Every structure is written in C-alpha cells, then in structure tokens.
A and B are shown apart, each in its own frame.
Chain A
C-alpha cells in the first residue's frame, strides 16, 4: 500500500516536470509601440487604436487620433531598438528587466543626436505609457508603449 502511494507520488512528479516547461513556453510577450498623430481637426479615431481611445480621449484634449505606425518588438532582456519618430527625432527603447508580468524599460528620445529625455519605467500586466509632445506638420506625436 505504502509502495503504491509512493509510486503514484513519483508519477505525479514526473508529469509536473514534463508539463511545466510547456506552460512557461506559452508565456510569450512582446512590446507594442504605437505612434499616433493627434490634432484638433475633425473628430476621428483610427479604428486600429480603438482599444486605447478611451484612455486617449480621457487624458488628452485632442479631437483626432491617427495611427501613423505600429512597431512590434520582441521582449528580450538587454535588447535595444531604435524607432524613427520625425525627421530629426528618434526613440531608443531598451528592455532592462523582465520579471513575470513586470517589464522594466529604458526610453531615450534623441533630437538631432542630442538626448532630450531619458526615463526608466515599469510596465505591468498590459499597462501603457504615453509619451508625447514632439510636433509634426499636422499635429502632435503621442507614442503609446505597452507590453502585450
């Protein structure tokens, strides 16, 4: 009887050992950078950013939000990516740390090779940081940074 229960204990352990790596492998996340042009023109929100439109309208005074481009970056600790914002401005985004659903990022905005902003922040469980202000010929840039 005792030997039988020990057998079952060992079998359950083996099942745990072989099933858990698969479960962790499914937990893939990526960084989503949406670059939006906001303006005071005709009230209009791009259909592709409807899921954050409530947040945008709640925070900012603009009436129109047009998605310029979306960058999907793989979440890899230590990786750095450069995204062009305007003719003179670029954004460098580095993944500093990934711990469970918490992702720590370093973002630098560079204007004509001069850094004008350095910030580190932690996104957790699908949170979004809005970085805005750079002017465009037709409005203002808002960059939505989220991990999904």
Chain B
C-alpha cells in the first residue's frame, strides 16, 4: 500500500467531521487513507465498548459515606445525658444515696417555694415595735387599713410654734 502525503492528524480531523476539501477529494483514489480511516473507526468502537463495560462494572462511590465514616460518632442529647448519669447508678449504694439526696433536695426547694413568708397577717403594712422620746412629745397614729388594703402608721413629733422656721 502506497503511503499518502496526508498526515495522521488530517485523517483524525476527517473522522471528527472537519476534513479539508483537498483531503476529501483525494480519498476515492487513496487506499492508504481509506484503510487508516477504517482502522481508526474500529479502534474507536473498541475503546468505547471497553470504557462502557468498565463503567458498568465499577462500584458506585458514595463520597458522603466516606466522609461520614471519618467523622466522630454523633450522640443525641438524651444519650449524652444518659452517659453522664449512668456511672452514678453503677453501684446500688450510690443509687440509693442519689435517690435520697434528690428527694431531700426536692422537698427542701418545694418548701422554700411554697411556704408563705412569716406573719402574713401584717402583709403590705407597717408595725411599730418600739418608740422612745425624752426630748419631744411624740404622737403615734394608726390610721388602719386603707382602700388599697395597706396598713400604714404615723409617728408625729410635736413641736411648739416658737421653733417654727428655725428648726
């Protein structure tokens, strides 16, 4: 077979559908190029078939699964709390002590929260415990409970009018 003046690149360009007019015009008379074209087409078919088969046989790669495998193990809040408290219950004696402590603490705080303050009968009010005056006359008034249910008290220091404005 007589070798042709056109290069292999020219043949490949023709196969891809962009062959020059000169190359196309010489093809009917060139057995070399026709044989090369047939060869290239056959090679191309073989390669395509090979890659298709390889792609079908290869296992699918789940990238996220690979990443997730490398991440530290995730725990729910419930599991985290359980992990914290579980060692405390490992020993029966500690378990009973913890239960006793818990019960006492709840009773204590319930008592603090729900016990009303002492002497609620004087709530919202004032109670005079002691009064003493040796240098002035003092009067104590008890107006009683007003419309706002408030008990007020009044201590009045009596001053004579001679001290008015000079005190």
Contact = CB atoms under 8 A, between A and B. Distances in A.
B150 A128 contact: yes
Interface in A105-136: 109, 111, 114-136
Given A10-B88, A16-B109, A135-B165, A129 B102 contact: no
A17 to B, nearest CB: 7
Interface of B is mostly: mixed
Given A6-B89, A6-B98, A7-B82, A123 B126 contact: yes
Nearest to A19: B109
A125 B141 CA distance: 20
B127 A117 contact: no
Contacts, number: 160
B143 A58 contact: yes
Interface residues of A, number: 50
A109 B157 contact: yes
B99 A9 contact: yes
Interface stretch (A29-37, A42-50, A70-78, A83-91): A83-91
A111 B167 contact: yes
Interface in B60-81: 81
Interface residues of B, number: 53
Interface in A9-29: 9-13, 16-17, 20
A125 B147 CA distance: 16
A116 B167 contact: no
A75 B150 CA distance: 21
A114 B106 CA distance: 54
A122 B130 CA distance: 10
B126 A132 contact: no
A13 B102 contact: yes
B124 A125 contact: yes
A118 B135 CA distance: 11
Contacts of A117: 131-133, 136, 138, 155, 157
A10 B130 CA distance: 49
Contacts of B157: 109, 116-117, 131-134
Given A87-B167, A89-B167, A111 B85 contact: no
Contacts of A111: 135-136, 167
Interface of A: 3, 6-7, 9-13, 16-17, 20, 54-55, 58-59, 86-89, 99-102, 104, 109, 111, 114-137
9 contacts: A117-B133, A117-B155, A118-B132, A119-B128, A122-B126, A122-B129, A129-B128, A132-B155, A134-B157
